[in-house]
Amino acid sequence: MKTLERVRIVTDKTANRRKKSIYDIKINGLDGSPISLSAYKGKKLLFVNVASECGFTKQYKDLQKLSDSYSDKLVVIGSPCNQFGRQEPGNASAIQTFCERNFGVTFILTEKIDVKGSNQHPLYSWLTSKELNGKKSSGVKWNFQKYLVDEKGNLIDYYYSLTKPMSSKITKQL
């Protein structure tokens, strides 16, 4: 095989992977029902890996405030994850009850997923891989790391746990 052909094949494979849209990713809600991310085209999406027993758990309150304040142009989606300090040990029912009772959470919560490692959910593969999102690569460092996606499904940026949901770093993008 000629070098030029080999380069074209590799380039085509990379381009095909990049074309994967966030809207094609399948994920279920905390209740097990499918969530269609494509239903939110035209709105920004903020994805957050959440945990009920974390020092950042208080951010649920501001995530709800952000969701309420920008509901016309933003959808907040929390993904429970037990990978950091085993701080989300509960089952779906316990997580839902905790979030509603303690923080009045009404924004979308997904099924419990892995956000890193060999069982990383495809959503977080897309969010953390430049090869898939076309923007930048990252690693999820801890609970309550945030990823902002624009109205057309393009990654805008990510924010570490210390960045509060109502921070101007996020709200200026809305």
Contact 12, 109 (CB under 8 A): no
Q: For residue 145, with 0-12 CB atoms within 10 Å meaning exposed, 13-18 middle and 19 or more buried, which class applies?
A: buried
22's tokens:
């966030």
The yes-or-no answer on residue 54 being catalytic is yes
Measured between alpha carbons, how far apart are the two ends of the chain, in Å?
49
d(CA 10, CA 109): 37
85's tokens:
């300090």
Contact 148, 159 (CB under 8 A): yes
d(CA 127, CA 158): 9
CA distances from residue 120 to 78, 81, 123, 128, 146 in whole angstroms, order as listed: 15, 11, 8, 10, 16
Q: Catalytic pick from 27, 50, 54, 105?
A: 54
Cite the active site residues: 54
